Amino acid sequence: MHLFVFSPLSASARTHLYQQLPTNVEATFCSDLPVDQQFSAFQEAEVLLGNPPAAWLTAGTPPLLRFWQIDSAGFERYRHVRLPIPVANMGDFFAWPCAETMVGGLLALYRHLPELAVLQSQKKWVGGAHVRNRAGLLRGKRVVILGAGAIGLAVRQQLTGFECWVQLLARTHPEAALRSKEDLKAALPDTDIVINCLPGSAEGFFSADLVAAMRPGSIYASVGRGNTTDEPALLKLLQAGYLGGAVLDVTAIEPLPADSPLWTLPNVLLTQHTGGGQALEDESKVDVLLRNLELLRTGQPLENLVELSRGY
């Protein structure tokens, strides 16, 4: 069996893959090939790991391809790809770290940790009252989570420890209290925190009218995809001091341009799309692939199957 690895695995993850790979599977790494040979090698794949250009797949499915393991949670760039084979993503692999990033960012804003970190770097002691009298609490906040996928549910679980009152927004999830933009708009004036966990297929969902409906002093956090937020509308209200702040793991353009005002706003915490990061991340992705390879070999149901056209 020929495995084509598009993922840019670390050296240690490559070693891990080679140590665990069944003897009948031969791996080819895209990054080891000259650019002009990469697509032709891809066309020989029976199993694919990683996220190649969508054009490679729309140009014609590799004739021997049996299974594709996407190495991310999101895959909106492939919504128009049609494949007659099973496709899986990483499931809830990134959910808990993404949720911790959001919760950690919210705590940092409420407790003024970024400001204190700057003061520490300057060796500047300003006295307790300077921060103490402005510090807020995450405890008991009213939260709306956009999306009820693995990340959204992990955020909700973590917030229970802070006694937050949490509502989910999702079209079909049985536990969602909010089902539409109209429901959300009605809830926003009484909401302290909005946490966006939407996939890229929900482009433009958190539109300017929803941004404007947020409660004064409330906080916006996003770990989904940058294209789901009207960033200019959000930026305008952050600059005006109408919103209390933002925790942004994702932005509309990445890397964020150097001239973006988001870099310098004191009420914005940028985590630079690191939300899903974790120790041994590449090795763990290899383990997800290996489990599915064994399930494929034995004819059992595969893990984390997705429908490309639906975006999840």
Q: Which residues are catalytic?
A: 225, 254, 273
Three-state DSSP state, 46: coil
Residues contacting residue 137 through CB under 8 Å, at least 6 positions apart: 110
Closest to 72 measured CA to CA, from 176, 150, 17, 147: 150
Residues in the chain: 312
- 266: three-class secondary structure by DSSP: coil
Closest by CA position to 195, among listed 213, 215, 168, 235? 168
Cα separation of 29 and 19, whole Å? 15
Question: What letter does residue 277 receive in the DSSP assignment?
Answer: -
Report how far residue 139's alpha carbon sits from residue 192's, in angstroms, rounded to the nearest whole number: 11
- The pair of structure tokens assigned to 146 is 């956009």
**Contact present, 3 and 30 (Cβ < 8 Å):** no
State in Å, rounded, how far the first CA of the chain is from the last one: 28
CA distance 48 to 296: 13
DSSP state of 121: H
Strands of the sheet containing 26-29, edge to edge, are: 26-29, 2-5, 47-49, 67-69, 87-88
Q: At what angle do helices 95-110 and 113-121 cross, to 10 degrees?
A: 70
